A = this chain, B = another copy of it.
């Protein structure tokens, strides 16, 4: 798989405690992206937040729940991301999905290394 030049960054914000068919939603989203052949995904855990995905929460001693914000980034061509965004319509029942244009300056992969 090759990405070069104009591409899209897709960001999904969900809560850490959101689930999909028995597993964490953020993990289910990453797995689905892999199944659909998207180039990659990166998940980051927030330490505080509020919004569509969650009540206000923090990792401090006053942490109120495990529902911290999880941020998923995917970078790929728009034509590959678009069908995935339709899948997200079903999976994300609370949260935010956004995109913007990026320029891929360099993309180097040694081929399929992922494993379950």
Contact = CB atoms under 8 A, between A and B. Distances in A.
Interface string A1-45: 001000101100100000000000011001000100001111111
A104 B97 contact: yes
B109 A51 contact: yes
A53 B40 contact: yes
Contacts of A108: 52, 92-96
Interface in A48-94: 48-56, 58, 64, 69, 71, 73, 75, 85, 88-89, 92-94
Interface residues of A, number: 59
Given A3-B96, A43-B47, A51-B109, 4 more contacts: A34-B56, A41-B51, A52-B108, A64-B115
Rank and list the top 9 A-B pairs by shortest CB-CB distance, nearest first. Answer: A40-B51, A97-B106, A52-B109, A43-B48, A42-B49, A55-B113, A97-B105, A56-B114, A42-B69
Interface of A: 3, 7, 9-10, 13, 26-27, 30, 34, 39-56, 58, 64, 69, 71, 73, 75, 85, 88-89, 92-110, 113-116
